[in-house]
Amino acid sequence: MRLASLGAPLGAAFVSTVTANRAMAHMQLKNWGYVISDCKLALSFNASNIKAIFRLSKAHQARQEWEVALEVAEKGLSLPNEDKNKDLLKVVKEVGKNATLARVQRQKKEVSCAAHCALKTLCVGFTI
């Protein structure tokens, strides 16, 4: 029986805690994909599970998905009584600069692709 299907009989908080704990085990093994999926599952049962949020952010950080890691950490900091969460503040500090650089690079690439597509559109029908 899948853990997700036990949500109603066991209680959402319990399933959220168990899957967040399983995510921690995967973190220690550096199985980042499993960490992400377990954290997302945990958050589907309890959206304010701060450990799942932290672990999800760290997994995205480990995969160098800077913007997502920052977004998740900031979401955690926006929860009631979590605005001074030292672990999440540390993630924001570690990831912030890389997220900004990644955003700038993505925007440059988008502009470059848009310019290329515009040029390609202008050139349709012309032969040299």
The DSSP result for 36-104, as a single string, is HHHHHHHHHH-TT-HHHHHHHHHHHHHTT-HHHHHHHHHHHHTSTT-TT-HHHHHHHHHHHHHHHHHHH
**Residue-level pLDDT at 44:** 96
| Local confidence band at 2 (pLDDT 50, 70, 90 cut-offs) | low
Residue ranges of the domains in the chain?
A: 3-123
Structure tokens at 31: 């199985």
pLDDT for the residue numbered 113: 66
Q: Does domain 3-123 have CATH number 1.10.10.10?
A: no
pLDDT of residue 35: 98
Q: Nearest CA to 73 among 42, 50, 46?
A: 50
Q: Quick one: tokens of 83?
A: 């605005």
Digit-coded pLDDT (tens) for 85-127:
999 999 999 998 888 887 777 777 776 666 666 666 666 655 5
Per-residue pLDDT, 100? 84
Closest CA to 40 of 67, 61, 60: 60
For residue 12, the SS3 value is: helix
What single-letter DSSP state applies at residue 30? T
Q: What is the mean pLDDT of the chain?
A: 86
- For residues 75 and 54, what is the distance between their CA atoms, to the nearest angstrom? 10
Q: What pLDDT was estimated at residue 124?
A: 60
Give me the pLDDT at residue 106, please. 76
Tens-place pLDDT, residues 27-78: 999 999 999 999 999 999 999 999 999 999 999 999 999 999 999 999 999 9
pLDDT of residue 45: 94
pLDDT at 56: 98
